[in-house]
Structure 1
Amino acid sequence: MKRISVRRVASVIATAMAMTLVFATLGWAMMPQWNTRPYTKHIAIASADTTITPAHANIPHEGRYRTRETRLSIKTGDGVTLPAVLREPVDAPGPRPACLFIHGSGTSGAEDFGDIANAMASAGIVTLVPAKRNDNYTVLHRDYPRFAREYGRSLDVLRGISGVDPAKTGIYAESEGTWIATILTSKRQDIAFAILTSAPVFNGREQMAMAVSAYTHEAGAPKPVVKDMAKLMSLDYAPFDLAYADFDADRYLKSLTMPVLVNYGTYDTAMPIEQGAQRIIATANKSGNENVTVRYFAGNHQMRAGEGLFTPNLPLAEGYTQALENWVNGVTAGTKADGWATPQVAGATPHQRFAAPQRTRSGIVGSLGVLAGLMVAGPVLIVMAAILGIGLTVFSWLQTLLAGRRSVATVRAMHATPSGLGAAQQRTLHGIAGLSAGIGTAVMVITGLLYGYMSAVGVSAVLVMPQPRLFAVGWVVLRIATMLLVVLFAWEMERVWYCRADIVGVRRVICVMVALGTLATLMTLAFWGLFSL
């Protein structure tokens, strides 16, 4: 008996090692063949001063005029009317320059951009902030061409305002709105200038891969987790209609042939703050446009003076609105920014940690639908196996009550194990039932730990609350739990094989479901890098 026991232990160990090797190989094959690499081609900053001083010395500055607000309604052309807020400088001589504001993903109301728009109006620039339609705008679906058409109608309204010079009317776009803005500039030749703030610049997947890597790194997640999160950007999102992840930024970026002002906050880890500016400059130069000005401010993604994205009432970064106004008044006065004494690239020193990748090909798991199926399959199969197990137990007890003539112990033994089995085989079958329950519990626990861990990393990244020690310990715990699950599964496989002829009917179905649920869970764990060396 002792020799048999040692042989079976050796069999379990060998099976566990083989499974670990198989899932480590699967994890590598699931890994896309690209990485987000550190960014090293840093942009040259000519001066720390963000001040923009146009060649035209007589331009109006912030606070020169009182401002007046007017509520407007703008028809989109398909029966929808959007509110808008027009801000004008009182008693400013005309014709005046004007600026249309285009929302990013975090704003949508006509009251947004109020402090920026009012400051610009006080410097003699008419501003219009239309609301952005939120219908059919979700995490899963965003129609940028439609937004471009709607903002185009708002631009026509602004150009038609009394006192506005249509030839001096341009756009201000923030974050995701810069994609909309470049579609608009590709369709129209009458846009006098473009201000791009916190611009993603790159295609959706490339941009998000860089942002996710930066966010998770800032959260203090271990290197494998940073790499794992970027992996999501390589998946095919078609089953979930996430088509905007493949937005072709390159196609529209070349339309920036007008004077361009590029602004980034140095605290912004979501954007390619150096790579993006360099790309805009290079693309504009290829089109013969040398009139590109870049400014870096000590601010976050929303150009607020603080690192937290969701901290309320943060003031705008110092000097931000003054730079906007001076630049607009300068380029609309007939001078070119590339001829001014003011440096074209200036401000706080940026430090982009990760480069946006040039390609994002997936591994063998190429679809978000497949990944979601794997992640759901494990727990679902385990729950179904548990329901069948409970049903079998209840059925046994019901037969006990109906039989009457048999004792509870007799019926339990008859239904728990096939008749004619020896004591050792009966103990093995009882052990398999207990082991299956244990594996099912382990699958549910480790699944909960994994999803809880990834959610905690995400929350910490978004709220800028780094927890490096906690995430390092959590990753070790997840890896240990993964190895324990492999050993438990190897143990069950060995016992099932030993008693395979006696596992029939519902018991066989339960064993198969537990096995498939565990395999699906192990494949999920492999995708997330928990088998990586």
Structure 2
Amino acid sequence: MRHTTARTSVTGRTGGTTVSRTGWAWLLPRILAALTVLVCSVLVLPAAPANAAPDGPTATEVSFAGNGGVVLHGTVLAPVSTTQRRPAMVMIEGAGNRGRRELRLAAEALAQRGIVTLIYDKRTEGYNLLHRDYSVLAEDALAGLRLLRSRADVDPARLGMWALSEGAFVAPLAASRSTDVKFLITAGAVGITPAAQTAWGYDEQLRHAGVSGSFTHTMRVTAVRMTIGAGIFPEAFFDPAPVWEQVRQPVLAQWGELDREALPRESSQIIRQALERGGNTHYTIRFVPEVRHNLYVTANGGFDRLARIPANYGDYEASWIDRLTHALPNASADPAPPQHIPSPTLTPLAWYESPWLQLAALLVFLVAFAGYPLTAAVRRIRGRRGAPPVRRPARWLAATGLATTLGFLVYLFFVMATAAHVVGPVLIGRPIAWLVLQVLAVATVVATVATALSWRRHRRDLTRADRARLGLLAAAGLLFLPWAAYWGLLIP
């Protein structure tokens, strides 16, 4: 078979100019050489700007040992391109154990802007509803910082911390203990004690729900003080101001203008004054428009909890970090948003407010109010007839007293568990549940009076056992009066 070799000519047109294969042979090596020079020049750059725009973050699961050897699990989110050293941050979540998912959206947004971020699950050993230690949590955060520092894609000169809400109690402690922390960024930092902040937050939520009157005082003052006295409010009187005085790193403190939890105006003033007392004038205080406590989007004036971030989330932070490589920031502060009421002053409990006395009163109520119908049922089972002549008011007292006591405990703990975000429908300035409890409390007082009068009228007709049962019931009713007044059930 005869083979012929055809000589082909490849041409291309660029702007009307014909390029032959011979031309490409001359041009292609020069293009490759130029690209090689460009790539090499990128590889030798010591750092990339924080506001670089990578294609997207990569996620790496990590584990590290925190304070006391407790193993913590987290995720490092980093820009796809890891050929350059990047700024990096340990991100510390707010109160509770929501885990790293609470900060995932924010961490991804920051990573997309060229910042390596570490988010991790908070310890459960040594952190719960009854116990926490911000000093221990600070050591955990520093352990995370050491993990980031060991990464090849992290620039140790631009290694910092980012903290939300309760995390902003922790991050200043960590920053004051280690020079490896080069900057500090906070969102929704609180400048007052956790107890005062909780009380203020209750008031904000209840005011927004249209609640007024005694229930507001019960939640804002009585309930908070009682939980402190009972020892079930950990770190209640932690004062963040002295810790902020020890912070020497540049600080970017941010609050949402619609923050309903962290007292933006008061907290920013306290933190600013504490930094200046410590000689730190390298701070930026910023109030972000139209966002809530965690700088997320809000559709309800800051009172909702939407899991959505603004489109430009992280732009300012990345730019601020990038500017640190050129010069430390000078002190600056945005005008603070208005604050409806100041933080409350929580006084110590008086002797009659002792949690032990409160518990004793509740036990008396349960024994007396629940015991009366139980003993009546036992009498019937045994075939004993002849109920005491005062049975009708006594039954009402037992029923209304028991319903009020149990209903109060359930509703109070429910509202506290939701941080007053859920109170139910409101009528004439009161949650309907609270209004029902107030009506029951009044009925209990009326039934107490009726039982006492009937007992006195028929005391000669009562057996010794009946006197004992009714005496305990009436005593519980009399004790109920000051107790209900103290908790606001008999106050408008």
Amino acid of the structure 1 residue aligned with 2:314: T
Shift of 1:248: 3.1
Shift of 1:110: 3.9
Does residue 522 of the first structure (1) align with residue 481 of the second (2)? yes
CA distance in 2, matches of 1:282, 1:358: 20
Does residue 507 of the first structure (1) align with residue 446 of the second (2)? no
Does residue 118 of the first structure (1) align with residue 76 of the second (2)? no
Paired position in structure 1 for 2:367: 380
Paired position in structure 2 for 1:9: none
Q: Deviations over 1:325-370 (max 9, x none)?
A: 1112222x1412227xxx6316xx7333232124433345434444
Instruction: Describe how 1:350-365 pairs up with structure 2 within 5 A.
Output: 350-365=337-352
Say if 1:100 and 1:127, in contact at 8 Å, map to a contact too: yes
Cα distance change, pair 260–531 in 1 and its aligned pair in 2 (3 A) = same
Instruction: Describe how 1:73-222 pairs up with structure 2 within 5 A.
Output: 73-76=63-66, 78-91=68-81, 94-106=84-96, 108-222=98-212
Shift of 1:474: 6.0
Does residue 274 of the first structure (1) align with residue 233 of the second (2)? no
Aligned length in residues: 441
Paired position in structure 2 for 1:489: 448
Shift of 1:100: 0.8
Shift of 1:375: 3.8
CA distance in 1, matches of 2:312, 2:271: 22
CA distance in 2, matches of 1:157, 1:67: 18
Cα distance change, pair 310–260 in 1 and its aligned pair in 2 (3 A) = same
Cα distance change, pair 435–499 in 1 and its aligned pair in 2 (3 A) = same
Amino acid of the structure 2 residue aligned with 1:134: T
Shift of 1:383: 0.8
Shift of 1:310: 9.7
Instruction: Describe how 1:59-458 pairs up with structure 2 within 5 A.
Output: 59-61=49-51, 63-64=53-54, 66-76=56-66, 78-91=68-81, 94-106=84-96, 108-231=98-221, 232-235=223-226, 237=228, 239-297=230-288, 298-307=290-299, 314-317=307-310, 319-331=312-324, 333-338=325-330, 344-345=333-334, 350-397=337-384, 412-413=385-386, 416=387, 429-430=388-389, 432-447=390-405, 450-451=408-409, 454=412
Greater Cα offset, 378-387 or 434-443: 378-387
Greater Cα offset, 359-368 or 170-179: 359-368
Shift of 1:506: 1.9
Root-mean-square deviation (Å)? 3.1
Cα distance change, pair 169–478 in 1 and its aligned pair in 2 (3 A) = same
Amino acid of the structure 1 residue aligned with 2:485: A
Shift of 1:206: 1.2
Higher relative contact order (CA 8 A, sep 6+): 1
CA distance in 2, matches of 1:258, 1:291: 7
Q: Deviations over 1:45-90 (max 9, x none)?
A: xxxxxxxxxxxxx955252565333222212364543222223334
CA distance in 1, matches of 2:400, 2:337: 46
Q: Deviations over 1:277-334 (max 9, x none)?
A: 1111111111111222122221222322115689776321353311111112222x14
CA distance in 2, matches of 1:464, 1:476: 12
Cα distance change, pair 525–94 in 1 and its aligned pair in 2 (3 A) = same
User: Mind listing any 5+ residue stretches in structure 1 that lack a counterpart?
Assistant: 1-57, 398-411, 417-428
Cα distance change, pair 460–229 in 1 and its aligned pair in 2 (3 A) = closer
Identity of aligned residues (%): 23
Cα distance change, pair 282–65 in 1 and its aligned pair in 2 (3 A) = farther
Shift of 1:244: 2.1
Amino acid of the structure 1 residue aligned with 2:456: W
CA distance in 2, matches of 1:453, 1:262: 37
Q: Secondary structure at the match of 1:521?
A: helix
CA distance in 2, matches of 1:148, 1:162: 24
Cα distance change, pair 186–464 in 1 and its aligned pair in 2 (3 A) = farther
Say if 2:244 and 2:271, in contact at 8 Å, map to a contact too: yes
Cα distance change, pair 190–151 in 1 and its aligned pair in 2 (3 A) = same
Shift of 1:210: 0.8
User: Mind listing any 5+ residue stretches in structure 2 that lack a counterpart?
Assistant: 1-47
Cα distance change, pair 532–155 in 1 and its aligned pair in 2 (3 A) = same
Shift of 1:108: 4.4
CA distance in 2, matches of 1:133, 1:60: 30
Q: Secondary structure at the match of 1:97?
A: strand
Q: Secondary structure at the match of 1:246?
A: coil
